């Protein structure tokens, strides 16, 4: 069946270092992926998205990489800051399932000063 | 723009009581969604709506009902609350269905059912 999962539940990095958060998905038919950031007590916030016809997309300090061969998605955060501390979710659309995003369980990013 | 707002922010219910959670968006989005978030389980879709007057079931619809009488509002009802419905509820909206446009989330409603 289809699933979206994150490789590590918690990632701890030093302030200023780069962070890489990983996500695996099982449905090769998925064609749209989103990364969300959720701070404590708040709703998920859109970070960046990527379509299946792309391998890489860059935003401000963030880059998403998509490897369709191994069904792997990653979020790279450059020069991680304390404000980046949050739970990060990847989500995918499932082909044929109208309007439904499938979310992973989330990775907690802890930034040490 | 206020974006997506939710009312109330927090509520305590006794088993068997009913309540309605209100979601409002001012972005003129066609599509709206209700999710629940439980520890270690990510977000699960309860119901969604593709337009005024239409609703559809998501992944975990049992025990919930929804209504979309106005484009900007999406209501989630619990007719007879159960402790298993203790969760954080998030509403989201998007311009089109997921796959073309991202979903924007509200701040959440924390519900405790005793």
In the sheet that A4-6 helps form, which strands lie side by side, from edge to edge?
A: A4-6, A19-25, A72-77, A62-67, A56-58
pLDDT tens per residue across span B36-84: 999 877 899 999 998 999 999 998 999 999 999 999 999 999 999 999 9
**A49 and chain B in contact, CB less than 8 A:** yes
Q: What is the pLDDT of residue A81?
A: 96
Q: Are B56 and B50 in contact, with CB atoms under 8 Å apart?
A: yes
Q: Which residue has better confidence, B70 or B1?
A: B70
Residues of chain A contacting residue B89, judged by C-beta atoms under 8 Å apart: none
Query: Which of A4-8, B30-34, B82-86 has the highest average model confidence (pLDDT)?
Result: B82-86
Subunit contact B103:A105, Cβ cutoff 8 A: no
Residue A3 has pLDDT above 50, yes or no: no
* CB distance A72 to A52 below 8 Å: no
Q: CA B106, B108, B109, B114 torsion: positive or negative? A: positive
* Three-state SS at A14: strand
- Residue B16 pLDDT > 70: yes
B79 preceded by cis ω (within 30°)?
no
Interface residues from chain B to A (CB-CB < 8 Å): 4, 31, 33, 40-45, 48, 50, 56, 58-59, 90, 92, 97-100, 102-108
Most confident of the ranges A23-32, A81-90, B42-51 = A81-90
């Amino acid at each position: 069946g289809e699933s979206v999962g994150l490789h590590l539940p918690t990632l701890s990095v030093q302030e200023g270092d780069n962070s890489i958060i990983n996500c695996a998905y099982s449905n090769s038919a998925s064609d749209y992926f989103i990364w969300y950031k959720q701070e404590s007590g708040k709703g998920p916030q859109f970070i960046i998205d990527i379509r299946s016809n792309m391998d890489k997309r860059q935003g401000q300090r963030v880059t998403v990489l998509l490897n369709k061969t191994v069904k792997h998605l990653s979020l790279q955060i450059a020069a991680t800051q304390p404000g980046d501390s949050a739970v990060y979710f990847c989500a995918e659309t499932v082909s044929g399932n109208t309007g439904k995003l499938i979310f992973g369980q989330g990775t907690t990013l802890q930034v040490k000063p | 723009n206020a974006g997506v707002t939710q009312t109330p922010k927090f509520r305590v219910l006794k088993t068997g009581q009913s309540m309605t959670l209100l979601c409002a968006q001012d972005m003129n989005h066609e599509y709206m969604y209700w999710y629940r978030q439980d520890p270690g389980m990510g977000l699960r879709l309860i119901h969604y709506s593709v337009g005024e007057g239409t609703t559809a079931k998501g992944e975990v619809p049992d025990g919930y009902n929804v209504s979309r009488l106005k484009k900007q509002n999406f209501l989630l009802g619990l007719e007879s609350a159960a402790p298993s419905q203790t969760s954080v509820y998030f509403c989201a909206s998007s311009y089109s269905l997921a796959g073309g446009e991202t979903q924007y989330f509200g701040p959440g409603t924390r519900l405790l059912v005793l």
